[in-house]
Amino acid sequence: MWYKHRSKKLHLTMRNRLLFLLFLCLSSFAQAKGYLVHLTIDKLMLNGDSIRFKTPKSFFLEITDRTDTIDVGKPNGKNIAIVIDVRKRMSAGKVMNEIGYAFFQKEDSKWVRINHFGYTNRTAFLNETPEIKKRSPKNQAHENYSCSMGLPVWFSAAFRMDVYVI
């Protein structure tokens, strides 16, 4: 009757795995914080054609970790979008916040990544202020970012982005 003993042991390990996965899911939901990303796009360039906004485009995005694909402009008639990713990691015993972003261009109704421009470290994010709670498009983000790349696609962007804990 070795098979009865073996199946009971297998059942216990499966139960332990399920309990562990349940605990992992619950703990990750409990730790989720919300962020408000204030994004202001100033200039985009794609393959030599550029667009500079007279009135910069501002977006207010509430996220837990990553935005959807946000359409931000059309240099030379091609849609350009950004995806912003906010994550935490441990570094030298301290919690570090990281902001990453990638730009995409639309080809045949699908978003194709131009490039992921890496992550920027932040020790702390901003606290939401009464001005930001209004979410007026006249308000512009303050922290400057720029990125560019050459081949296979000539691309550059100038934008501002502030991240608030909500």
pLDDT tens column, 22-61: 554 444 444 447 899 999 999 999 998 999 999 999 999 9
Q: Is the Cα dihedral 107, 48, 113, 60 positive or negative?
A: negative
pLDDT tens column, 73-124: 999 889 999 999 999 888 888 888 999 999 999 999 999 999 999 999 887 8
Nearest to 43 by CA among 31, 32, 57: 57
Would the pLDDT of 19 be above 80? no
Q: Give the residue, 164 or 133, on which the prediction is more confident.
A: 164
At 16 the pLDDT is 63
Would the pLDDT of 17 be above 90? no
Would the pLDDT of 8 be above 90? no
Q: CA neighbours within 13 Å on the CB side: how many for 69?
A: 13
Q: Which residues contact 148 (CB under 8 A, 6 or more apart)?
A: 45, 155, 156, 157
At 14 the pLDDT is 62
Nearest to 35 by CA among 62, 67, 69: 62
Query: By the 8 A CB rule, do 43 and 52 touch?
Result: yes
Q: What pTM does this model have?
A: 0.75
113 vs 81: CA distance, rounded Å: 9
- Both tokens assigned to 31: 């730790």
At 13 the pLDDT is 67
Would the pLDDT of 149 be above 80? yes
Would the pLDDT of 140 be above 60? yes
Query: By the 8 A CB rule, do 59 and 39 touch?
Result: yes
Would the pLDDT of 10 be above 60? no
At 79 the pLDDT is 94
At 20 the pLDDT is 55
At 159 the pLDDT is 96
Burial 72-81 (b: 16+ CB within 10 A, else e): bbebeeebbb
DSSP character at residue 93: T
Distance of CA 9 to the CA centre of its chain: 43
